[in-house]
Amino acid sequence: MCLAIPGQIQEKYMIMDGKVPMAKVNFGGIIKEVSLEMLPEAREEDYVLVHVGFAISIVDEVEAMKVFEYLKEIGELTDLNPGEEFPELQQDDGKDSGE
Amino acid sequence: MKYLNEYRDPEQARQYLDQIHRITTRPWAIMEVCGGQTHSLVKNGILNLLPEKITMVHGPGCPVCVTPLNLIDKAIYLAEEKGVVLCSFGDMLRVPGSEKSLLEAKANGADIRVLYSPLEAVRIAQENPGKQVVFFAVGFETTAPANALSVIHARRLGLKNYAILASHVLVPPAIEAVMSDPDSKIDGFLAAGHVCTIMGIEAYHPLAERFKVPLVVTGFEPLDLLQGILMTVRQLENGEARVENQYARIVRREGNVRSRQVIEEVFEVSDRLWRGMAVIPRSGYEVRETFAEFDAKRKFDVRIPEAPENPDCIAGQIMKGIKKPFECPNFGTQCTPVNPLGAPMVSSEGACAAYYHFSGMVEQMNGEEGR
Ligand code: SF4
Query: Who among A47, A56, A60 is closest to B259 (CB)?
Result: A56
Cα–Cα distance, B100 to A9 (Å, whole number):
42
pLDDT at B224 over 60: yes
Residue A17 belongs to domain spanning: 5-80
The pLDDT value given to residue B134: 98
pLDDT at B155 over 50: yes
Residue B74 belongs to domain spanning: 69-170+255-299
What domain count does chain A have? 1
Residue A75 included in any domain = yes
pLDDT, one tens digit per residue, over B58-113 is: 888 888 889 999 999 999 999 999 999 999 999 899 899 999 999 999 999 999 99
Residue B317 included in any domain = no
Q: Whose CA is nearest to atom 8 of ligand 1?
A: B313
Length of chain B: 371
Cα–Cα distance, A87 to A90 (Å, whole number):
6
Q: Give the pairing of strands B54-61 and B28-34.
A: parallel
The pLDDT value given to residue A87: 40
Q: Which residues of B touch A93 (CB under 8 A)?
A: 25-26
Residue A87 included in any domain = no
Residue A40 included in any domain = yes
pLDDT at B371 over 70: no
Q: Where are the beta strands (DSSP E) in chain B?
A: 28-34, 54-61, 85-88, 112-114, 133-139, 162-169, 188-192, 215-218, 243-245, 267-273, 279-287
Put simply, whether A1 touches B (Cβ < 8 Å) is yes
Query: Who among A4, A47, A86 is closest to B2 (CB)?
Result: A47
Query: Who among B16, B34, B223 is closest to A2 (CB)?
Result: B34
Residue A18 included in any domain = yes
Query: Who among B23, B36, B138 is closest to A3 (CB)?
Result: B36
Residue B155 included in any domain = yes
Name the DSSP class of B324: -
Residue B250 included in any domain = no
Residue B51 included in any domain = no
Count CA within 13 A, CB hemisphere, residue B159: 29
Q: Which of B190, B252, B208 is nearest to B30 (CA)?
A: B190
Ligand 1 geometric centre to CA of B118 (Å)? 29
The best mutation among B91, B277, B312, B313 to test binding of ligand 1, ranked by most ligand atoms within 8 Å of the C-beta, falls on: B313
Query: In terms of pLDDT, which residue wins out, B260 or B278?
Result: B260
Mean pLDDT calculated for residue range B170-181: 92
Residue B133 included in any domain = yes
Instruction: Report, in this order, helix, strand and coil percent for chain A, each rounded to 5.
Output: 25, 35, 40
Q: What is the ipTM of this complex?
A: 0.90
Shortest Cα–Cα distance, B369 to chain A (Å): 31
Residue A90 included in any domain = no
Helix (H, G, I), strand (E, B) or coil at B323: coil
pLDDT at B298 over 60: yes
The reply to whether ligand 1 has any atom less than 6 angstroms from the CB of B95 is: no
pLDDT at B197 over 50: yes
Confidence of residue B269 (pLDDT cuts 50, 70, 90): very high
CB distance B249–A70 less than 8 Å?
Answer: no
Residue A13 included in any domain = yes
pLDDT, one tens digit per residue, over B345-369 is: 988 888 999 889 886 655 555 544 3
The pLDDT value given to residue A74: 80
Q: Give the pairing of strands A5-15 and A20-27.
A: antiparallel
Put simply, whether A31 touches B (Cβ < 8 Å) is no
Cα–Cα distance, B236 to A20 (Å, whole number):
46
Extract the residue ranges of chain A whose pLDDT is less than 70.
1, 76-99
Burial of A27 (0-12, 13-18, 19+ CB in 10 A): middle
Query: What are the Cα distances from residue B360, in Å, to B338, B366, B369?
Result: 17, 10, 12
Shortest Cα–Cα distance, A17 to chain B (Å): 11
Secondary structure string (H, E, C) spanning A4-47: CEEEEEEEEEEECCCCEEEEEEEECCEEEEEECCCCCCCCCCCE
The pLDDT value given to residue B368: 41
Residue B206 included in any domain = no
Considering only alpha carbons, which residue of chain B is nearest residue A75? B19
pLDDT, one tens digit per residue, over B47-65 is: 989 999 999 998 888 888 8
Helix (H, G, I), strand (E, B) or coil at B13: helix
Q: In this predicted structure, which of A32-46, B102-116, B218-232, B306-320 has the lowest mean pLDDT?
A: B306-320
Q: What is the CATH number of the domain that holds B149?
A: 3.40.50.11740
Q: What is the CATH number of the domain that holds A26?
A: 2.30.30.140
- A37 alpha-carbon distance from chain centroid: 20
Considering only alpha carbons, which residue of chain B is nearest residue A53? B117
Residue B108 included in any domain = yes
CB distance B19–A75 less than 8 Å?
Answer: yes
The best mutation among B275, B314, B334 to test binding of ligand 1, ranked by most ligand atoms within 8 Å of the C-beta, falls on: B314
What domain count does chain B have? 1
Helix axes of B222-237 and B10-23: crossing angle, nearest 10 degrees = 10
Length of chain A: 99
